[in-house]
């Protein structure tokens, strides 16, 4: 690892400003899923153990400028107290005199969580003065927010310019280590499984990965746009019409470059978008005009499985179907099982994306793959070979 890590720093007595990703779902004033908070614990515990003063900052949701109790990090401070088994202080803002006073009163081994950085529009503008103000609270800056590292904001990028000592935290380190394996010195065959619903965000990724991977397995909503591009009837399935041309280009390019490109050969179709919809397994050329594709079929799982059997590196982003509905979760869960099997046999398997991560834990297999990335957009940009601004901002060793 070329970047300075938290292990390289002397933290005792220092004010350590840590960008964490506490962008968690809040329901009736309580943290509904604390995965991201738990992922940040090793870094926080390290600072406490070394006698540093931990000042944590994060964004939560997309508030429209200014304070909004809906997006307050206060419930997170309470939850973090429980997880750490100690009191966590909470600042009503992330900059200003009151916050400075709270920081100055912090003792060694104590933890202070600052209020949502996005209550200041300057955060997303990466405003220089705002970044400087954040930096002025601390001696050291640690970035442990992998999920936000693809964004150049004040708390993820700008702030690093104003502190001499910068480092990445353990979560960031873990993410980069696993994802680096997938981009450099990776063992082939390298297979990318792509699905999900954010077709326009991700279809470009396929193009950018085409010279790197040996095979693409396309399922989920992503597959429908390709099926339509090939002239199949897809009925009322989720399709991004304005990406059909790009899909055609990709299909041609894959053929020309002899990259294996598998689309579903059968699928589960439904008469409406609901778990209690009527459903049927049909070949892809038998989709009924008024129905929609909500999952990949068993023959597709089998064919994808044959490619995955021999793969040495596998990257998966985007569920194979609407896994939130029990009747359409099978394709996703079957692929998750195959990934768990090939991981046992030594393949490196990486699952990225919020919904993909939640699907793999729903399948009970989150611990059976090599790595579940906390970052969706960040992991994909990394795999494309792009430099993440939040990582670039940290000094090299």
Q: Catalytic site residues?
A: 36, 198, 354, 377
Q: Name the nearest CA neighbour of 158 among 198, 122, 128, 124.
A: 128
Applying CB under 6 A, which part among 9-17, 31-39, 123-131, 195-203 lies near ligand ADP? 195-203
Compute the distance between CA of residue 14 and CA of residue 156 in angstroms, rounded to an integer.
20
The site partner of 197 among ligand ADP, Mg ion, none (C-beta below 5 to 8 Å per kind) is: ligand ADP
The answer to whether 38 is a known ligand-binding residue is: no
Among 154, 215, 218, 238, binds ligand ADP (CB under 6 A): 238
Among 138, 172, 270, 294, binds ligand ADP (CB under 6 A): 294
For ligand ADP, which is the closer residue by CB, 91 or 336?
336
The answer to whether 321 is a known ligand-binding residue is: no
DSSP letter for each residue of 234-274 = -TT----GGGHHHHHHHHHHHHHTT-EEE--SEEEEESSSS
Asked whether position 293 contacts ligand ADP by CB under 6 A, the answer is: yes
Closest approach of Cβ 21 to ligand ADP, in Å?
A: 15
The site partner of 322 among Mg ion, ligand ADP, none (C-beta below 5 to 8 Å per kind) is: ligand ADP
Binding map of ligand ADP across residues 146-185, x = CB under 6 A, - = no contact: ----------------------------------------
For ligand ADP, which is the closer residue by CB, 31 or 203?
203
| Residues 267, 318, 345, 178, Cα dihedral to 10° | 170
Residue 211, preceding peptide bond in cis (omega within 30° of 0):
no
Compute the distance between CA of residue 327 and CA of residue 309 in angstroms, rounded to an integer.
26
Burial class (CB in 10 A: 0-12, 13-18, 19+), 2: exposed
Q: Name the nearest CA neighbour of 282 among 234, 221, 321, 216.
A: 234
Asked whether position 354 contacts ligand ADP by CB under 6 A, the answer is: yes
Applying CB under 6 A, which part among 60-68, 127-135, 179-187, 193-201 lies near ligand ADP? 193-201
Asked whether position 317 contacts ligand ADP by CB under 6 A, the answer is: yes
Q: Name the nearest CA neighbour of 317 among 161, 167, 153, 203.
A: 203
Q: Which residues bind Mg ion (CB under 5 A)?
A: 354-355
Among 89, 198, 228, 330, binds ligand ADP (CB under 6 A): 198
Closest approach of Cβ 356 to Mg ion, in Å?
A: 8
The answer to whether 116 is a known ligand-binding residue is: no
Asked whether position 365 contacts ligand ADP by CB under 6 A, the answer is: no
Binding map of ligand ADP across residues 208-227, x = CB under 6 A, - = no contact: ------------xx------
Closest approach of Cβ 144 to Mg ion, in Å?
A: 22
DSSP letter for each residue of 139-197 = SEEEE--GGGTTS--TTTTGGGGG-SEEEE-HHHHHHHHHHHHHHSSPPSSEEEEE-SS
Q: How far apart are the first and last CA of the chain?
A: 8
Q: Which two tokens stand for residue 184?
A: 């450099």
- Using DSSP bridges, classify how beta strands 15-19 and 53-57 pair: parallel, antiparallel or unpaired: parallel
Longest dimension (CA), the chain: 69
The site partner of 221 among Mg ion, ligand ADP, none (C-beta below 5 to 8 Å per kind) is: ligand ADP
Asked whether position 297 contacts ligand ADP by CB under 6 A, the answer is: no
Compute the distance between CA of residue 219 and CA of residue 251 in angstroms, rounded to an integer.
15
Binding site for ATP: which residues? 202, 324, 353-356
Residues lying near ligand ADP in the complex (CB under 6 A) are found at: 195-198, 220-221, 238, 293-294, 317-319, 321-322, 324, 353-356, 376
Binding site for substrate: which residues? 21-23, 36, 59-62, 118, 151
């Amino acid at each position: 690892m070329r970047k300075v890590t938290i292990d390289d720093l002397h933290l005792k007595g220092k004010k350590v400003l840590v960008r964490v990703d506490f962008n968690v779902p809040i329901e009736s004033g309580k943290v509904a899923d604390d995965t991201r908070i738990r992922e940040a614990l090793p870094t926080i515990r390290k600072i406490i153990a070394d006698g540093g003063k931990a000042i944590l900052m994060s964004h939560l949701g997309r508030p429209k400028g200014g304070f909004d109790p809906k997006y307050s990090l206060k419930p997170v401070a309470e939850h973090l107290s429980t997880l750490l088994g100690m009191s966590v202080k909470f600042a009503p803002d992330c900059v200003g005199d009151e916050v400075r006073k709270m920081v100055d009163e912090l003792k060694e081994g104590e933890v202070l969580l600052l209020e949502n950085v996005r209550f200041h529009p300057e955060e997303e503008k990466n405003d220089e003065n705002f970044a400087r103000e954040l930096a002025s609270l601390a001696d050291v800056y640690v970035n442990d927010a992998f999920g936000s590292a693809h964004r150049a904001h004040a708390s993820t990028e700008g702030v690093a310019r104003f502190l001499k000592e910068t480092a990445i935290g353990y979560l960031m380190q873990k993410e980069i280590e696993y994802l680096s394996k997938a981009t450099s010195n990776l063992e082939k065959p390298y297979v990318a499984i792509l699905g999900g619903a954010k077709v326009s965000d991700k279809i470009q990724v396929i193009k950018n990965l085409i010279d790197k991977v040996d095979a693409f397995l396309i399922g989920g909503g992503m597959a429908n746009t390709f099926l339509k591009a090939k002239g199949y009837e897809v009925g009322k399935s989720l399709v991004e019409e304005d990406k059909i041309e790009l899909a055609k280009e990709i299909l041609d390019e894959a053929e020309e470059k002899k990259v294996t490109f598998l689309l579903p050969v059968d699928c589960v179709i439904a008469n409406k978008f609901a778990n209690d919809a009527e459903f049927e397994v049909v070949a892809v050329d038998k989709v009924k005009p008024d129905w929609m594709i909500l999952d990949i079929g068993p023959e597709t799982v089998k064919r994808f499985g044959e490619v995955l059997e021999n793969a040495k590196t596998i990257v998966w982003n985007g569920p194979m179907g609407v896994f939130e509905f029990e009747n359409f979760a099978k394709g996703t869960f079957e692929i998750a099982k195959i990934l768990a099997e090939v991981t046992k046999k030594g393949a490196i398997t990486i699952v990225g994306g919020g919904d993909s991560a939640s699907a793999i834990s729903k399948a009970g297999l989150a611990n059976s793959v090599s790595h579940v990335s906390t970052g969706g957009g960040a992991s994909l940009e990394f795999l494309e070979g792009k430099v993440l601004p939040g990582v670039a901002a940290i000094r090299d060793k």
